[in-house]
Chain A
Amino acid sequence: MAEVVLSTRGITKRFGAVTASEDISLDLRAGEIHAVIGPNGAGKSTLIAQICGGLAPDAGRVEFLGRDVTARPVRARARMGLARTFQISALAMEDTVLQNALLGALGASGRPWRFLRGVLTERSLRDRAEAALARVGLDDVAAVRTAELSHGQRRLLEVAVALTLAPRAFVMDEPMAGLGSEGSERLTTLLGSLRREAPILLVEHDMDAVFALADRVSVLVYGRVIATGTLDEIRADPAVREAYLGDAA
């Protein structure tokens, strides 16, 4: 079995009387796409926040690259190579596409404390940013203001920024959200090719994409993982059929 890159061990999070995450244990192995699916309100966003560092779990651990990162902030996990994308694009809308990609490259370089040199004259940053844009097919709009991009292009830029970090694992929060069928297909192809670079923890609503991409699937309902397995195992799981797929079908 491939090596485990990212994992949660029994993480639990409560907000008052509501349990948003209950004893969740997941792992992401090298080379795979592991999809997390579940109905609205199942606790997917809370789970991502705990994996990436925005929220501290009440109990349990998060491990990345074999180290316990539970107490580390978002940026420390990012520096280790944990790259996330946002459900609602978090891009600097006033800036150009290239500048957004450069920000990722700058973060990866870890050297933002340079005040007088033009950022565009830094060859290494620029190469890295342009390579990431080329990878997602946005190189021809590099000079365009991000606010002028189409929704689909912004989803691609989200992925490009994540790519500049030279990630060891991706965490993607509904990358297909709001895309038309054409856009979804394009992104699906892209993500499929990305798994060779780093495994992807894919939280997604779009079942077509999940079925096309996922090596394994975990089903999250009311803050609990009720099943984890291959697509076939999940399809066959009675609990999943009852709680989720049954309703959806």
Chain B
Amino acid sequence: MNREAMLNAAVLLALVAVPGWALWAGEPFTITLATRAVIFALAAVGLNIALGLGGMVSLGHAVYFGVGGYAMGILAWHAQSYTPLVEALAIPGTKSMPVIWLVAVISSALAALVIGVLALRTSGVYFIMITLAFGQMVYFFAISWPAYGGEDGLSIYVRNGFPGLNTLVPVQFYGLCLMVLLAVLALNWRLARSPFGLALNAARQVPQRVETVGLDPTRVKLVALVISGAVTGLAGALFADLNRFVSTTMLSWQMSGEIMVFVIIGGVGRLFGPVVGAGLYVILEHFLGDLSDYWQVFLGLILLAVVLFGRGGLVGIVAGRARTHG
């Protein structure tokens, strides 16, 4: 077992142990905090598929996060207000998480497809900026679109349901989110080792080579971006359910920046990098926020230190240079 595998196992153990510790220590809020970390981790795992495997520096992942969130918000809002989702067809809203997840995944995947087709015409810095700009475009649209609350957002009074669970109990909702995260991590692990993963990995490093063996690197990247967007969209639906609320802040460019921060401080391309990064961020946010109103100065300094001195993020610092998929 190498050091990275040991670290991954330790992280896994910590995630499983959190509820027990929280109940034992009489800090039930820790579970909510951990749920937040797990959902952020899921969003970042999504970005890591595009960023780590595919080399696509997307500064617009808040779009997928927000689309997933709004999928939840809109469906649940219609269910809660007993208004049909589509008037003509009398399709009702729903409070069922599996259905909401499906809609969130499909709609964020579609958003990624549309943005990807346009953005992947470019590369490098252009790609970063065009994804950022598409994010702004969606953000401004959502703010000024009056139908679903605009900047006020949508409030859902009761968390959506999952068959067999009481999602209002923090531990149960945490467990559900953790299961989703683990399932997606497993998917990510398989993906990296699949024929598609091989092609994507090569498309990131030497696109011209992929082309000369008869494959289309742009299409490979596009599919990766769609998968990435779908995962981040699923995280968005869960995040909205955690807060029982969705608003345009989920679509803001700062959100995109934060998702990217999770990936980078954890370790780009590392399987557990996003998990470690999101966990660290939530811990920092919680404790630094108590230390000073100006806590973001310290957050900034820590980020700088990671970039300048910590090649490969936290996982890289602990486990050395080698990449997980190899």
Show the binding face of A for B, using Cβ within 8 Å. Answer: 52, 54, 73-76, 78-79, 83-84, 86, 90-96, 99-100, 102-104, 106-108, 110-120, 122, 125, 145, 161, 164-165
Contact = CB atoms under 8 A, between A and B. Distances in A.
24 contacts: A75-B211, A75-B213, A75-B214, A75-B215, A78-B212, A79-B214, A90-B208, A91-B206, A92-B206, A93-B205, A95-B326, A99-B198, A106-B199, A107-B215, A112-B220, A113-B223, A114-B194, A114-B196, A116-B191, A116-B194, A117-B194, A119-B197, A125-B195, A161-B213
Contacts of A113: 195-196, 223
Contacts of B193: 118-120
Given A74-B212, A165-B214, A103 B196 contact: no
Contacts of B78: none
Contacts of A103: 198-199, 202, 209-210, 213
Nearest to B190: A116
B311 interface: no
Given A94-B323, A107-B215, A116-B187, 19 more contacts: A74-B212, A75-B214, A78-B212, A79-B214, A86-B208, A92-B209, A94-B201, A95-B326, A103-B198, A103-B213, A104-B213, A106-B213, A107-B213, A112-B195, A112-B198, A113-B195, A113-B196, A114-B194, A125-B195
B198 A107 contact: no
A165 B195 contact: no
Q: Which of B190, B205, B213, B227 has the most CB of A within 10 A?
A: B213
B216 interface: yes
A102 B197 CA distance: 12
B194 to A, nearest CB: 5
A92 B55 CA distance: 13
Contacts of A165: 213-214
A114 B195 contact: yes
Nearest to B194: A115
A36 B198 CA distance: 34
Given A106-B215, A112-B220, A94 B205 contact: yes
Contacts of A92: 201-202, 205-206, 209
Interface string B244-285: 000000000000000000000000000000000000000000
Contact of B212 (A52, A99, A125): A52
Contacts of A96: 326
A83 B213 CA distance: 7
A115 to B, nearest CB: 5
B164 to A, nearest CB: 26
Contact of A115 (B191, B201, B214): B191
A99 B187 CA distance: 20
Nearest to A103: B202
Contacts of B210: 103, 107
Contacts of B196: 112-115
Given A90-B209, A92-B206, A112 B323 contact: no
A232 B168 CA distance: 88
B199 A112 contact: yes
